[in-house]
Amino acid sequence: MGLIAIIGGTGVCDIKMLKNAKEHHMDTFYGTIHYVRGTYEGKELIFLPRHGKTHSIPPHLINYRGNMLGLKRLGVTAVISTTAVGSLNRDFKPNEFVLPDQFLDFTKSRHTSFFDGGENGVVHVDMTEPYCPTLRRTLMAAADELGGYALHNGGTYVCTEGPRFETPAEIKMYETLGGDLVGMTNVPEVCLAREAEICYATVSMVTNFAAGISPSALTHSEVVDCMAENSLRLRTLIMKAVELYGDDDCLCRHALQEYGGFTV
Which domains, and CATH codes, for the chain?
Answer: 3-259 (3.40.50.1580)
185 is in an annotated binding site: yes
134 is in an annotated binding site: no
51 is in an annotated binding site: yes
233 is in an annotated binding site: no
**156 pLDDT more than 80:** yes
Residue 178 CA neighbour count, 13 Å, CB half: 9
Report the DSSP pairing between strands 76-87 and 19-28: unpaired
Q: Convert 31-69 to b/e letters by CB count within 10 Å (16 or more is b).
A: eebebbbbebeeebbbbbbbbeeeeeeebbebbbbbbbb
143 is in an annotated binding site: no
Q: For the segment 4-30, what is each residue's pLDDT rounded down to a tens digit?
A: 999 986 557 667 778 899 999 999 999
Q: How confident is the model at residue 227 (pLDDT cuts 50, 70, 90)?
A: confident
10 is in an annotated binding site: yes
pTM: 0.94
152 is in an annotated binding site: no
Task: Report how far residue 93's alpha carbon sits from residue 133's, in angstroms, rounded to the nearest whole number.
Answer: 23
Q: For the segment 108-138, what is each residue's pLDDT rounded down to a tens digit?
A: 999 999 998 888 789 999 999 999 999 999 9
184 is in an annotated binding site: yes
Q: Is residue 178 helix, strand or coil?
A: coil
